[in-house]
Chains A and B, each alone.
Chain A
Amino acid sequence: MTTRIDRRLAHLKSEGRPALVTYFMGGDPDYATSLKIMKALPKAGSDIIELGMPFSDPMADGPAIQAAGLRALKAGQTLAKTLHMAAEFRADDDETPIVLMGYYNPIYVYGVDRFLADARASGIDGLIVVDLPPEMDEELCIPALKAGLNFIRLATPTTDEKRLPKVLQNTSGFVYYVSMTGITGSALADTTKVATAVKRIKSHTALPVCVGFGVKTAEQARTIGASADGVVVGTAIVNAVASVIDPKGGLTADPAEAVATLVSGLAQGVRGARLVAAE
């Protein structure tokens, strides 16, 4: 069974360039604006969309994504609405893969079976759930794989050689390599180390490896994309939204446009990546 994620990454591989994976927070600053942002992403050059599910206690996220989640929750976002947003997006785009990213509790409270059924029906292709390591695979990973969704696991600098096979065992779609030990929004790690780590993971799996945490500029996307199958950008996009929100919560410009401008630049970056590699 292949998903939109598998197909998209295979296609990009044949084109010889890495994927641009874009994270944004569902419902930030409000549902309608957020849907508009989502729709703008593929047009601006995003290859895979990570749709953030807001959570009150995002323990792996830095201040920018924490604030985005709180804005979304304050505007009334719920898991049900995030799924609905994906379904509305799917109505006019049946190609761009959507990965839901967030924390386990809202899913657990929604009910795992009900969640998987509704996620499938909303056109979701994969899941990234930060606080479900392989030790907890029975909770959601195994049921998700059975339901035909990709379960994308994070590998980190602390995932050593001995542990890597366990992390890769039930991973599908792609492996998300976290470039550093830290929270989202921190400064980018040493890129040579990242390249070495990607190579190490690739020696254990045929799955594509995408790299995230700390990538903010087109230049960085280009450098990381030289060795990885995909580059994930999150905080920079969330910041682009925040940059047009005034202190009272009003908008000073169109967030979708601010995001599109940033993503177009990043898309240029990943498209130049293999030229860097060839140099």
Chain B
Amino acid sequence: MNKPIEPNSFRTGPDEQGMFGMFGGRFVAETLMPLILDLQGHWEHAKADPAYKAEVAHLNKHYTGRPSPLYFAERLTDHLREVSAAKGLGGGAKIYFKRDELNHTGSHKINNCLGQILLAKRMGKTRIIAETGAGQHGVASATVAARFGLPCVVYMGATDVERQAPNVFRMKLLGAEVVPVTSGHGTLKDAMNEALRDWVTNVDDTYYMIGTAAGPHPYPEMVRELQSVIGREAKEQMMEAEGRLPDMLVAAVGGGSNAIGLFHPFLDDRSVRIVGVEAGGKGLDGEEHCASLTAGSPGVLHGNRTYLLQNSDGQIMEGHSISAGLDYPGIGPEHSWLKDSGRVEYVPIMDTEALEAFQLLTRTEGIIPALEPAHALAEVIKRAPHMRKDEIIVMNLCGRGDKDIFTVGKILGMGL
């Protein structure tokens, strides 16, 4: 077997060059390089500064509503135990949700935005730009920009503007300018290109607030650190609730920020199995999916080397997912490294499976999840019945489904 040698710790990356093994790095135009070095300097200073940490913690508590609850999903657990019994397995793991969907603005994205806008303030930047797919990061960016009194421009693929209309409206209400991007297929990748073009143009006053744990160094590390509050809380809450670590973590991966936020504090707890769930779209046979880790190959895009959906000529594919937040042909570089090192297992979930999970959760727990964590839930539904009753799964319920009700309603043929 050609298994790579396991590192002593999975939590030490990235190195000084911003690399996680062969992944990550700083593949940007020279115009941006001085800006990225400046950002890195400020970030390193801030993360070591107790005053910065205290400010983030204060806002997390009083503005976002952290800590988010760790909730035992009893009815769902019971339901899956019945499924297990019907299969003659007699199992059914205990399922907990880390409820970041209860955060102000409705998803985990706010954790990152608060940390970044405090940094932007420290750097003296006066204008915020962001890219968004589902619009959750756009809404979170527009929210913190309003809270701190800075103008905000959000780039959003034209296709996404259409399918995430409620979020577009929210961003506008919050005072942000939403720029629909028509290049490519008009999804997240194209929005990110356009945000980078804005940044290259407005180098003096503008702070680029990237919404996921991807992009050039230091973004993947910075976003991970800001999102790791999820995993740190979950660990503490689990010790309180069960007196032990969970057996399995499950989270959806788009760019990978909610997943790395939950996973990172547990990476060196080897007893904890970790599963990342990618968008399998309409299936991995064709091109209509976004499973960059399962079906892609390493390449360089948006400032980092990572797994990408691309053709044999290195041209990036568009991908497809029912969930706008997972509709991205790349993935944060740390996930690429965690995949290759074998620490985390990545699996695809199809559109149809996510839709079923969405409906099941709504009916059993009275929680309408976003379509992104519905992917994670579909994987939980597959696995829990095959696990023992005394085993525990923690799933990141990273967003609420208000933004998706129109999309889902349309697919289910429900008149609204």
Contacts and interface: CB of A to CB of B under 8 A. Distances in A.
B22 to A, nearest CB: 11
Interface stretch (A175-183, A233-241, A243-251): A175-183
Interface residues of B, dominant DSSP: mixed
Nearest to A160: B34
A145 B303 CA distance: 23
Contact of A131 (B35, B197, B297, B300): B300
A55 B315 contact: yes
Contact of A167 (B30, B184, B202, B315): B30
B183 interface: yes
A191 B203 CA distance: 19
Nearest to A63: B183
Interface string A40-76: 0000000000000001111110110010000001000
Interface stretch (A2-10, A100-108, A271-279): A100-108
B34 A109 contact: no
A135 interface: yes
B278 to A, nearest CB: 20
B314 A105 contact: yes
A79 B313 CA distance: 7
A156 B31 contact: yes
A38 to B, nearest CB: 20
Contact of B314 (A59, A107, A135): A107
B29 A60 contact: yes
B201 A57 contact: no
A182 B202 CA distance: 8
Given A106-B313, A183-B197, A136 B27 contact: yes
Contacts of A167: 30
Interface residues of A, dominant DSSP: loop
A87 interface: no
Contacts of B30: 133, 153-156, 158-159, 167, 178
A205 interface: no
A186 interface: yes
B35 A158 contact: yes
Which of A78, A110, A159, A183 has most B Cβ within 10 Å? A183
B313 A135 contact: no
Given A79-B313, A104-B300, A159-B34, A132 B27 contact: yes
Interface of A: 55-60, 62-63, 66, 73, 78-80, 103-110, 130-136, 153-160, 163, 167, 178, 181-183, 186
Interface of B: 17, 25-35, 183-184, 189, 193, 196-197, 200-203, 297, 299-303, 305, 308, 310, 312-316
5 closest A-B pairs by beta carbon, nearest first, are: A109-B314, A106-B314, A156-B31, A56-B315, A182-B201
22 contacts: A55-B314, A56-B316, A59-B196, A60-B197, A62-B197, A104-B27, A105-B299, A108-B300, A110-B314, A133-B26, A133-B33, A135-B26, A154-B29, A155-B30, A158-B203, A163-B33, A167-B30, A181-B201, A181-B202, A182-B200, A183-B200, A186-B201
